[in-house]
Amino acid sequence: MNKEQLNSIDHPIFAESIRFIQSQLGFTGLDPLQQQVLERIIHTSGDFSLKDLIRFSPGSCEKGVSSLLEGAPILTDTAMAAAAIAPMAKRTLDSKLYSALDWVPEKVIPGMTRTAVGIERAWQHLTKEFSGKQAPIVVIGSAPKALDDLLQLVLAGYISPSLIIGMPVGFIGVSESKMSLSKSGLPHIRLEGSRGGASLASAAINALLRASFFSKKNNTYR
């Protein structure tokens, strides 16, 4: 990869920040792809304690990269997450990007959240549109109910996401939804406890988009 291509992905200040983060983290025991996800969420949050909260299902990062390279679209739970992913998606693989809120009807049934309704409708639509191709990667940073409903759709027979980044933030239903994700057997990356948010979930997929771009150019994750 030439310098122009590298600079289109990594701003010099970002690169310097990552070197600093690496110097402070020391040995983590993570593989290279997992390490990049961790470094990016720490860069986004300024919080080194996230190293103790992040969890990866076996092969989740590799599955994310391979799916992105094969054209998997990305579905987010909020417009905020989609906006945070869009620049990296454009600069790397030009992956298709959707927000579940695009499918929310004007009126939502009482007791249902807008995002949960959107996730269900989006999943029904996208799995038909991408039938026979790589299933979407789902990025959830705000809505635990949307994560729960997605898992229920899979149990009901809908196709499984290529990868779930499950980092809803908050206190009501959040830990429970992450526990369900941990037991689902689906490829996923999650943050334990109440921590999360659109910025952290977006940082995780942005790390995989960057790794996918490097892999495509140089057959390497760095």
Q: Which residues form the catalytic set?
A: 43
Nearest to 116 by CA among 127, 107, 108: 108
Count of other CB atoms within 10 angstroms of residue 7: 11
- Rounded CA-CA distance 76/35 in Å is 23
Secondary structure letter of residue 99 according to DSSP: E
- Of 72, 67, 64, 77, which Cα lies nearest the Cα of 33? 64
Which of 184, 35, 30, 158 is CA-nearest to residue 166?
184
Q: Using CA atoms of 28, 177, 66, 98 in order, give the dihedral in degrees to the nearest 10.
A: -130
Q: Report the Cα–Cα distance between both ends of the chain, in Å, rounded.
A: 11
**Residue count of the chain:** 222
d(CA 180, CA 208): 23
